[in-house]
Amino acid sequence: MDGLEVTVLLGASVLVGTLLAPRLRIATPLLLVLVGLALGFVPELRAVQLPPETMLLVFLPVMLFWESLTTSLRSIKRDLRGIVIASTLLVVATAFAVAGVARLFGVPWEVALILGAAVAPPDATAVAALGRALPHRNFMQLKAESLTNDGTALVVYAVAVGIAVGGSFTPLDITGMVLLSYLGGAAAGFAIAGLAVLLLQRVRDALSVNIALLVTPFAAFLAAEVIHGSGVLAVVAAGLAVSYAGPRISTAASRRQTEAAWPLGSAVLNGALFVLIGLEVQHVVHRVDAAALGRLVVLTVLVWTVLLVVRFGFLSLSAYTIRLLDRRPSQRARRMTYQARVVSAVAGFRGAISLAIALSVPTMAADGTPLAGRDDVVFVAAGVIVLTLLVQGPVLPAVVRWARLPHDGSEQRELRLAERAITDAALAAMDELAEQHGVDDETRARLLRDHEDGLVTIDRRDPVDAPGQPAPAADGSEASSPPVARHEQYAQLRLALLERKREVLQQLRREGAVDDAVARRVQWRLDVEELRLTGVEPVE
């Protein structure tokens, strides 16, 4: 099949899956994997193959950049220690545990370690697609871990491949590779993000802003590859940096376009990847000898089981260790319960990164002989991905209900806090801004009533807060302006108040009083109001 036929096939598959998933009450990613498996029964379709570098260079930068833009920076800072431990030590422990099991099934040690590196890291895009049943904090912590753990997995993979093809590494070499992967990737990402911020501060139209955003993840990936750092981490670092600077480098119109276009592009690419995973599984199954099929199926199930057991065991061990070493009250509040560790183990989905690593395994050793066990790696990695998606995915909501994790009402509380804070700030600045913009008393009184009505609505949702004071009536000391002039004054004052609200909102975000997700929701409402007042369309 040529490129156009593959594009139409993938697009049609994603469309069918998106339409049918709600009717069948099944998660869209799970249905798309099943669609890919079904398509794989057709020999011509089963032959559809994408090079691993296509997944790494075309699919992942866009999807990871969007996930980074929408990740909570406060959650990362709050759970940084756990995220770092899980994205480094847990990945290494998982890789070696999987390698040990694969070695028992006759897979050469070096190739077994490649398999371990491939399936060790949970995948950020799969977690984002299937982890919505988790409480907000657990979801953000797992998402942050999934965004940062690929650097460790790729270093383990590089060492294992080097040994498999005849190379050798000292502990100093491996340490250098780890540091270069993490520090080099992060430095490249932050450097590109800095250049992007400088450019975007000088660009105002929505289309140019979003074109610059689209180029940023690919530039970050390229910069990291040039210095042999982790391209994946560079994309994540660039996304986090741009997210932090977002309010200063974007406009209401550009943000509205971003919120419309980027989720669509990410969803299409993500859906296509799930279809390709199903096709790849069929391709691998049909390549394996019937005599080896049973052995590989058993190995796949055992590796999948090891992933669950090692993740749960590691989280339990680290929790007990931290509990012994850190007895601060703030740490006790962050302790993970037994039920939460079970939920985290089940939520560790594998996806595109694992498939890309498995498909990247070279076919030949340094002496020109075929690399033994490569087909085993691809088969087991693909099988593990399918098991995590098709078994853990549907089971996760039931496990979350069983765990009875504490209800996380912080998002709604912080939303009310933000709404009240920005409304109070607008009321406090009303007289000053009205005088500054020459607004008459009648228009000012109208805006006061609007904002105090908003406070009443907020107080109904949060009766703890005291209601606002009644609006002063216009005393008629100033003659009313003509209707057209009053409308212009109303719009001008409201826009000035929106800027004041944004300043207060970003201050709350910087102080950590509200989460990034809450700030984005409130920002979205302010942007809609601005576009309604100015009549500016998101696309210029």
For 477-498, write each residue's pLDDT tens digit. 444 556 667 678 888 888 888 9
Half-sphere exposure of residue 205: CA atoms within 13 angstroms, side-chain side: 5
b/e string for 64-74 if b means 16 or more Cβ within 10 A? bbbbbbbbbbb
**Exposed, middle or buried, 398 (CB in 10 Å: 0-12/13-18/19+)?**
exposed
The pLDDT score that the predictor gives to residue 467 is: 39
What is the rounded CA–CA span in Å between residue 252 and residue 262? 15
Nearest to 32 by CA among 298, 229, 279: 279
The pLDDT score that the predictor gives to residue 469 is: 42
Rounded alpha-carbon distances, angstroms, from residue 444 to 43, 63, 123, 491: 71, 46, 52, 11
- Is the distance from CB of 21 to CB of 31 less than 8 angstroms? yes
CB atoms within 10 A of CB 189: 33
Nearest to 278 by CA among 31, 458, 475: 31
All residue ranges of the chain with pLDDT < 70 are 1, 52, 167, 327-335, 366-368, 455-484, 486, 536-540
Half-sphere exposure of residue 143: CA atoms within 13 angstroms, side-chain side: 29
Helix or strand or coil: residue 370? strand
Question: What does the block give as tokens for 3?
Answer: 């490129």
pTM for the full predicted model? 0.82
The pLDDT score that the predictor gives to residue 197 is: 93
Nearest to 122 by CA among 393, 400, 506, 412: 393
- Locate all alpha helices (DSSP H) within 288-337, ordered by sequence: 290-325, 329-333
The pLDDT score that the predictor gives to residue 13 is: 93
The pLDDT score that the predictor gives to residue 473 is: 41
Question: What does the block give as tokens for 89?
Answer: 């030590």
The pLDDT score that the predictor gives to residue 427 is: 86
Question: What does the block give as tokens for 69?
Answer: 């833009």
